[in-house]
């Protein structure tokens, strides 16, 4: 679900304080953008939104969520929005977020 190696590398590269800022920004962006998924009116809007979510998720190690966004982006591009499982994507984000927040406590002690 979470690529903890990616998380540790990012934390090392940024330092603890900057990493915390990036995490906060990422979570804020996700909480703002994710609710827009079910209301994306056009194929283009859905593809752009999934692409944005995928990029942020990949950078922070949300492996499963980013893969579902990538798959949704591909389906929306090729077949249309009706083939995208938005509920699964949203559920994956919430599960990933919970796993990430719980796991951060563990890597903070590493």
Domain boundaries, the chain: 4-108
User: Percentage of the chain with pLDDT > 70?
Assistant: 97
CATH topology for 4-108 is 1.20.120
Higher pLDDT, 109 or 15: 15
Give the mean pLDDT of 10-22: 94
pLDDT band, residue 80 (cuts 50/70/90): confident
Give the mean pLDDT of 21-45: 94
- Residue 109 clears pLDDT 80, i.e. is over it: no
- Checking 46-55 for CB contacts under 8 A at 24+ apart, the result is 46/72, 46/76, 46/81, 46/84, 47/73, 47/76, 47/77, 50/76, 50/84, 50/89, 53/89, 53/93
pTM of the model: 0.90
């Amino acid at each position: 679900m979470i690529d903890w190696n990616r998380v540790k590398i990012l934390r090392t590269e940024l330092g603890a304080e900057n990493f915390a800022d990036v995490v906060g920004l990422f979570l804020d962006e996700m909480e703002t953008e994710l609710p827009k998924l079910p209301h994306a009116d056009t194929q283009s809007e859905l593809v752009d939104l999934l692409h944005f979510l995928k990029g942020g998720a990949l950078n922070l190690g949300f492996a499963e969520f980013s893969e579902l966004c990538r798959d949704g982006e591909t389906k929306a591009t090729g077949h249309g929005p009706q083939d995208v499982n938005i509920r699964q994507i949203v559920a994956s984000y919430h599960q990933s977020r919970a796993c990430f927040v719980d796991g951060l406590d563990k890597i903070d002690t590493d």
